[in-house]
Structure 1
Amino acid sequence: MDTVIDRLSDIEKVAGSVMDDAGVRKKALAKEMEEKTAAFDQELERKTAERISQIQEQMEREMQEELDKQASDAKAAIARLEETYEKHHKAYAQTLFQNMIKE
């Protein structure tokens, strides 16, 4: 009977040791998962910030190109207006003068 009790006591000690080891492994795995999650979050944040930066740079380039095109178009329009004025300003003035003195 003592042998059975000793054997049960040994089994209980082994079971307690297994449970303690399982608790230690569980804590180690939880810590490892936290570290992996933190590393993943940092990498994701870095990639997101990098992508946002790329998109901002692209949008700034496109905006500058559009502004340059609009400035060029405006200069061309002003040049055309000035050319038309130089060619026809005497006729415009004469027509305006005639309209003013008719009435």
Structure 2
Amino acid sequence: MDAVIEKISEIESAATSIMEHANEQKKALAKEMEERTAAFDAQLENETEKETEKLKADMEIKMNQRLKKQQDELQKILEAMEKNFEVHHTQYAKELFNNMIKE
């Protein structure tokens, strides 16, 4: 009977040891997963930041190109208006004078 009790005690001790080892492995795996998750989050945040900066730079380049194009177009319009005025300024002055004296 003592041998049976001793064997049961050994089995219980072994089972306890196995359970403790399993709990340690479980904790180690949980810690590893937490570290991997943190590393993944950091990497994702870094990649997102880089992509955001790239998009921002691209948008700024496009905006500056559009602004330059609009400035060039405006300059052409102003030059055309000045040329038109130089050619027709006498006519405009006469029309303005005639409109003023009619009233």
TM-score exceeds 0.5:
yes
- Is 1:102–2:102 an aligned residue pair? yes
- Supply the RMSD in Å over aligned alpha carbons: 0.8
* Residue in structure 2 matched with residue 37 of structure 1 by the alignment: 37
Count of residue correspondences: 103
* Residue in structure 1 matched with residue 92 of structure 2 by the alignment: 92
Where do 5+ consecutive residues of structure 1 fail to align? none
* Residue in structure 2 matched with residue 4 of structure 1 by the alignment: 4
Structure 1 length as normaliser, TM-score? 0.96
Structure 2 length as normaliser, TM-score? 0.96
Alpha-carbon separation, structure 2, partners of 1:69 and 1:87:
27
Where do 5+ consecutive residues of structure 2 fail to align? none
Alpha-carbon separation, structure 2, partners of 1:35 and 1:70:
52
Deviation at 1:89? 0.3
Alpha-carbon separation, structure 2, partners of 1:12 and 1:101:
121
Identical positions, percent: 47
After TM superposition, the runs of 4+ consecutive aligned structure 1 residues lying more than 2 A away are none
Equivalence map 1:21-100=2 (5 Å): 21-100=21-100
Deviation at 1:102? 2.5
